[in-house]
Amino acid sequence: MNFDHLKTIYRDFDIRGKYPEEITDDEVYRIARALTLHYQVKKVAIGYDIRPSAQNLCSALTRGFLESGVNVIDLGLCTTPMSYFMCGSTDVDMAVMITASHMPSEYNGLKITVADARPVTKDILEVIREIVGTHTFSEEVTHGTITAHALQTDWIKHFKAQHDLTGSNLSIVVDPANMIGILEIATFKAFEPDITVHTIFDEYDHTCPNHEANPIKHEVLASLAEEVRCRHADLGVAFDGDADRVGFVDETGTPVPSDLIGALLARSVLKNHPGALVVTDVRSSRSLIDEVTRLGGTIIREKVGHTHIRTRMRSENAILGIELSGHFFFKDSYFSEGGPLPAFIIMELLKETKQPLSALVAEVRKHHHSGEINSHVTRSKEAIYQTITAAFPDLPPRYQDGLTLEADDWWCNVRPSANDPVMRLNLEADTKERMEEMRDILLGLIRSE
């Protein structure tokens, strides 16, 4: 077994690669056998998105589990948050979602959760890789059973039980980017006529012909913004490729950063859980920290990555988790993403306050953020960190996830890409002028030779 090849697909948070050059049917079959061996699972749920390789990989994964004596629940088409819901709310021992998130359709992979929707972390994925590469699996077959399950009905029923938009008269535009988030249109429409649901790019097409399924990029939200303005809607919601990340535009079509959406979510969540903990990644705005503190909550900073935040939330019993890329995590969703849950909480806030989303955002936006800026570099991260810290000797460096410096009126985080020779800068200051000044200074230091 070629371990150099295997190393490329076993990532920090999931298993992912190009099909069939990197991730293959045989390998996925062996992964199922390895997962069974390691976790001793008896019942597994399997779902998938619309990628052309999904059926082949699902068949291989299912065969691997069945031949290990595991009973398989076939979820068919579903979103990643739906698979987490299945893992947390039923008696399955594991759920596997076949997806590569926002990556192009020639890629595919596995997102794995175990009992109570706990994420499988990097150290366990390395163990699975070792088993796949070295173990000789028994040829003696003990067949499990396979059962189909219509998960979407349970999912919609769950949302109907948790949310009340009666009389809200809100108008929303949903953009699933031609990917599996199309399933969530039915979740929103279940609340009609109290809300009006408009949609764009709502037919399945794994090539994503209209735009990339990655709502963190503001250019991706351009069509959504235009439709919101055209429809005079109250907000727009965009999903990524597997619908575990959500992007927002307000009623003017202006994109709303995820940390500011997080500050508004904290208003709702902390009202019912005073003094609770909120986990956010190291890139998030001081505006979020200010709002959580004002509400009586406590912020915990964590490394970027959904597995890091979900694991930290569970260990600290945090109520809410926010990642700048558009992941929102909730204790009530088994410390995982809730799919359209952030949109429903925002709609409930709009109903309660009778204010437009732009006004609510203006209340929490206290600082000026640069957004994440990528720089292609030739120097090592250590050399770049040394250059930056030498320029600011009075600021104590923090190396939790990359390099973070904090001054009274500005802060920055500089961290490397996991896959490319790129350094990512996030910087924020109390004024726009100070942000632009410090942004340019930091970019000069990062890009210097």
- Per-10-residue mean pLDDT, the chain, length 449: 64 91 95 96 98 98 96 98 97 97 94 94 93 84 91 97 97 98 98 98 97 94 98 98 98 97 97 95 95 97 92 97 96 96 98 98 96 95 98 97 97 89 96 98 96
pLDDT of residue 13: 82
pLDDT of residue 142: 80
105 is catalytic: no
pLDDT of residue 154: 96
- The DSSP bridge partners found for residue 248 are 237, 256
Please state which architecture CATH assigns to domain 258-364.
3-Layer(aba) Sandwich (3.40)
Domain spans, the chain: 3-149, 154-252, 258-364, 368-447
Do 154-252 and 368-447 show the same overall fold? no
Which homologous superfamily does the CATH classification assign to the domain defined by 154-252?
Alpha-D-Glucose-1,6-Bisphosphate, subunit A, domain 3 (3.40.120.10)
Catalytic residue among 53, 68, 83, 101: 101
Tell me the CA distances in angstroms from 310 to 19, 242, 313, 395, one per residue in order.
Answer: 28, 17, 5, 30
Tell me the CA distances in angstroms from 151 to 58, 59, 155, 325, one per residue in order.
Answer: 17, 19, 6, 27
pTM for the predicted model, two decimal places: 0.94
Q: Yes or no: is domain 368-447 CATH 3.30.310.50?
A: yes
Residues 6+ apart with CB under 8 A from 356: 234, 250, 251, 350
CATH code of the region 3-149:
3.40.120.10
Instruction: Annotate 159-195 with b (16+ C-beta within 10 A) or e (fewer).
Output: beeebebeebebbbbbbbbbbbbbbbbebbeebeeeb
pLDDT of residue 134: 87
pLDDT of residue 12: 80
The CA-CA-CA angle for residues 304, 402, 7, to 5°, reads 65
pLDDT of residue 449: 84
